[in-house]
Amino acid sequence: MNGRITAITPQKRNKKRYNVFIDEDYAFSISERLAVSLPVGGYLEADEIERLKTEDQREHALSRAMHYLKFRSRSREEIRDFLEKKGFSGAIIADTLKKLEDFKYIDDAQFARAWIESRCRHRPRGEFALRHELFQKGVKETIIDRMLVDFQEAEPAWRAVIPKLAQWKKLEPFDLKKKIYEHLRRRGFSFETCEAVYQKALAQLEK
């Protein structure tokens, strides 16, 4: 398609996007930034139209990704999956991911570190669970290994149990152990950590 631009009009539902008409017919829509560079009456070759469409897709993909990042940090793979579901091409997605990485909006090592810290503070999880969660987010195993190399389960495991101690304080030792093991194993803590927490809880409840 090529021809002369006969009109450029803002969309009714989104005033920041513009419809471009060529030879009186609707041709394509683009962002406000791109629209201001086009003169009504100007002539567009087919390759220039494709360039404008591609540039608009790049802008749109970056905007969608930035909005997605507003709610919480994301892994690289989460952003890729999100953009794929929105129908962007592989080339546009690759370009968007590179821009986000260049500007430090995505960094899987930083994401993994923040995820582990958040879990430890708010929803304690053991190493097994953390590994599984990060793997599901698309974080590479080498990064997960590096972020968990100094991870200690004891403190988050104890914090996971503290809210339950008042409820369990009258249980017999066998039943207390069962409750603690079940509670912690569901959260990905190791048997060794479960036993250590049980011994600590038993000692505290016997005071």
Does 95 share its domain with 57?
A: yes
Does 79 share its domain with 116?
A: no
pLDDT, position 93: 98
Query: Are the beta carbons of 51 and 89 closer than 8 angstroms?
Result: no
Point out the residues of the chain with pLDDT beneath 50. Answer: none
Distances (CA, A) of 101 to 94, 104, 137, 139, 197: 11, 5, 17, 14, 41
Give long-range contacts, CB 8 A cutoff, 24+ apart: 29-37: 29/56, 30/55, 30/56, 31/56, 31/59, 31/60, 33/59, 34/59, 35/8
Does 136 share its domain with 158?
A: no
Does 40 share its domain with 2?
A: yes
What's CA 51's distance to the chain center, in Å?
30
Backbone angles phi, psi at 17, to 5 degrees: -120, 145
pLDDT, position 205: 87
Find all residues with CB under 8 Å of 109, minimum gap 6, and list them: 143, 146, 147
Query: Are the beta carbons of 44 and 30 closer than 8 angstroms?
Result: no
Does 101 share its domain with 112?
A: no
58-86 as b/e: b if 16+ CB within 10 A: bbbbbebbeeebeeebbbbbbbbebbeee
pLDDT, position 96: 98
Domains of the chain: total = 4
Does 60 share its domain with 100?
A: yes
Give residue 125's domain range. 108-148
pLDDT, position 78: 98
Does 74 share its domain with 96?
A: yes
pLDDT, position 130: 98
112-151 as b/e: b if 16+ CB within 10 A: bbebbeebbeeebbbbebbbebbeebbbbeebbeebeeee
